[in-house]
Amino acid sequence: MATENKNLSQYNKAELPNVAGSKFAIITSEWNNHITFNLRDGAKDTLIDLGANPDDITLHEVPGSFELIYGADKVAQTHPDLDGIIVVGCVIRGATAHFDYVCQGVTQGVKDLNIKHNMPIIFCVLTDENEQQSIDRSGGKHGNKGVEAGVAAVMMADMKKKLGK
């Protein structure tokens, strides 16, 4: 696993841009919410730590990870002034091929949204073999992947700002 022996919650604030005045949305899957809500909170707290005003961060929830695509598309269409969107989900392998179809669909869907919209859409969807791996990556022994998504959103919002809207 790529995150083995790494803490995803560590970043150097001095090396990252301040995003004061930037606007973000976080769209979170309610499925596996004991994991996804931790990821969402990690992303939101990171955005605030790096200068975003809490009032400039909107939170939305969708039923599952597959619905993140529609949710992000609608938010991007109705709020083109956003500097970035983070989609948060968790898909845990089960006994059927459902895992593969959901993971592939969500990955491709978020990729397509990044091409379609003039804003970065950050992928924070855990695709783990078991629940413990997801727990470990959502505030457990490997830190919180949501923090990493927050850092990525800040970096991409800064890139968007530097290159022009």
Domain coordinates in residue numbering, the chain:
28-163
| Whether pLDDT at 97 is above 80 | no
| Whether pLDDT at 110 is above 70 | yes
Lowest mean pLDDT among 41-50, 90-99, 135-144: 90-99
In this structure, which topology does domain 28-163 adopt according to CATH? Answer: Rossmann fold (3.40.50)
Q: Which of 21, 18, 1, 6 is nearest to 82 (CA)?
A: 21
Is 123 part of any known ligand binding site?
yes
Q: Which residues contact 163 (CB under 8 A, 6 or more apart)?
A: none
Q: Which residue has the higher pLDDT, 97 or 50?
A: 50
pLDDT digits (tens, 9 = 90+) for 14-28: 999 999 999 999 999
| Interval 28-51 mean pLDDT | 97
Q: What single-letter amino acid sits at 90?
A: C
- Cα separation, 27 vs 88, whole angstroms: 6
Tokens of 66: 């597959």
pLDDT at site 7: 65
- Asked whether the beta carbons of 60 and 27 are under 8 A apart, the reply is yes
Query: Is this model's pTM higher than 0.85 or not?
Result: yes
Is 96 part of any known ligand binding site?
yes
pLDDT digits (tens, 9 = 90+) for 68-94: 999 999 999 999 999 999 999 999 998
Q: Which of 29, 121, 45, 116 is nearest to 83 (CA)?
A: 121
Active site residues: 98
**Where do we find the tokens 């022994």?**
141
- Cα separation, 96 vs 17, whole angstroms: 43
Q: String of b and e for 120-129 (b: at least 16 CB within 10 Å)?
A: bbbbbbbbbe
pLDDT at site 164: 81
| Whether pLDDT at 3 is above 80 | no
Is 26 part of any known ligand binding site?
no
